[in-house]
Structure 1
Amino acid sequence: MAMKPCLSTSLPFVLLLFSWAFGGAASNESQSDLPKCGQAIEASDADRVKFAMNLEFLEAEFFLYGALGRGLDSIVPYLAQGGPPPVGAQKANLDPLIQQIIEEFGYQEVGHLRAIYTKVGGIQRPLLNLSAQNFAQVMDEAVGRKLQPPFDPYANSINYLLASYLIPYVGLVGYVGTIPYLSDFNSKSLVASLLGVESGQDAVLRTLLYERANQVVAPYNMTVAEFTNKTSALRNKLAMCGIKDEGIIVPSSLGAENRTTSNILSADSYSVSYSRTPQEIARIVYGTGNEAKPGGFYPRGANGRIARSLRSA
């Protein structure tokens, strides 16, 4: 629906998300973690929100191209702020249901970029590597071997859902980690509202994958659940801050109240969302495990003051 966001009308939901976000930050980041996970960054509210735009650009371009075969330059070019077009993005071979869901996600990400741009200003779209080769490298690293044929996210609906599993959750935990450091209520309202949709997207993707958990992903002789467990483990390894990412089927010790093996919503021992620092986010999306070393989805690094400061630290 093409409407300007009215954040004040959803205040109860926003406040619920505030408590969820603050609880998540408190429950899974101790003082002993800070040197490894990233010291608190001195930054304005606007800079913190703009850092999140890097993830929103990634999601917008991947979903728009996957569903429609075209991206921001075709739909809302002003939001790209003159940034380079993504590399390797293409239309995916999706079934009608998945195509409709991904198209909706794509337009939601356009709305997110527009909301941030309107409220705090924007950053230039960073160079994004959305090529099948880049996704193939990520999957190879996750499973610990070179997949043959190389994993292609655009080949079919299952592959695209597994590739999508890599993206919204990172934005979600980043927003959770951001809220406690925001000082202005309007900034908190904006981020909490964005978080609500990001968490919804992640839940939809995880549910779609859970429905297919035991399906073997051809021709790799691995199930959907195994792929999610391995890609989650890779993100934990890259971020270097313990378990903050879990697949769709887990040991009961990681399930809700230690009683479930289903894991449609990834959460900590209190069923509160995990949070990540900008340093952790950069390590994951760069694929290098080093917030100062760009690569992966961001060959030249993310944009904005926080991203630049991490590269120069």
Structure 2
Amino acid sequence: MADGPDSTPKPRRRIVRRTVRSLGALLAMLLLVVSAAVAAFAVHGSGTVDRSIRSTGQDAYWLGHAWVDGRKTQTDVDALAAQLEGTGIRDLYVHAGPYADDGTLDPALRPRASWLLEALHTALPQVRVQAWLGNVLAENRMSLASAATRARVLEGAEAILAEGWDGVHYDFEPARNGDQDFLDLLAATHSRTQAAGALLSVATPKLQPVTGLHHLQSSQWTKAYMRRVAGSADQIAIMAYDTFLPSERAFQGYIRRQTTLALDAVPADVDLLIGAPAYQDQKINRFDAAETVPAAIAGVQQALAGRARDRPVGLALYVDFDATEEDWASYRDDWGRTAP
């Protein structure tokens, strides 16, 4: 005969009830922490915004792979040049990869690279064109712990420099806080870019907004690790989006906090850019209505208010194939026109 619904031994039922209660308490605690964080960021994003703080001409724009695989033409280059006229965009990160999991970089991925470089340098002589390269870091994907993989990554970067790109823009995700292999790769790459008179730019994760948070989420960096990464780079672009925050005001406060932390972590002789989400993709870790270009701009302006203007901070717009007219209007009206 099958056991009835009350046949579970009493000790086991007590364990189940205790486990359920413990999980419920833990969930309630997490919800309380998240709610408190959202409220704190919303408060941080409140107050006046100094709209006199504008671009100082060191902004950047991420461009998709269509620019190097043959889908874009001279007409697109001309349109891009017109779009960027009078703005603070100085760097273009053009997707030229990705690396394969073993670290190799297939030149067949960028058959129109030489044409693009000539076309952009002609149309936009004041703009630097960097190769956006990277891959997913995971046990079943790329591992920078392999010296052979790092060596092949360097070979790919050297090939990029030989083609005449103005810089290498690394985007390896997720680069974990404290990863020494990543630091070794950056140091080796930086020696190559310096020898070539080119830039090494790094797209980085967000800084931990609360001390100790990196122990729970190692993809958020400490200021100490960010400082070490910046020591082997010419430019840091913080991907300050995908935050789960539900409101523009909270996201604005988060950007203000990220900018303030970054100003302390990134040395003054390294370019600092804050990523702005000019894209709408309904990802599970972001709310499109909350993470906006206007909120990102306002957060940066709040962070810079009252500071000496001797340390410029740029905005990096992500990404060209999804940016809307509204995104560009916000950038131009609130930030992007260069100061006279």
Q: Mark the structure with the bigger radius of gyration.
A: 2
TM-score by length of 2: 0.27
TM-score by length of 1: 0.28
Q: Which protein is richer in helix relative to its size?
A: 1
Q: Which protein is richer in strand relative to its size?
A: 2
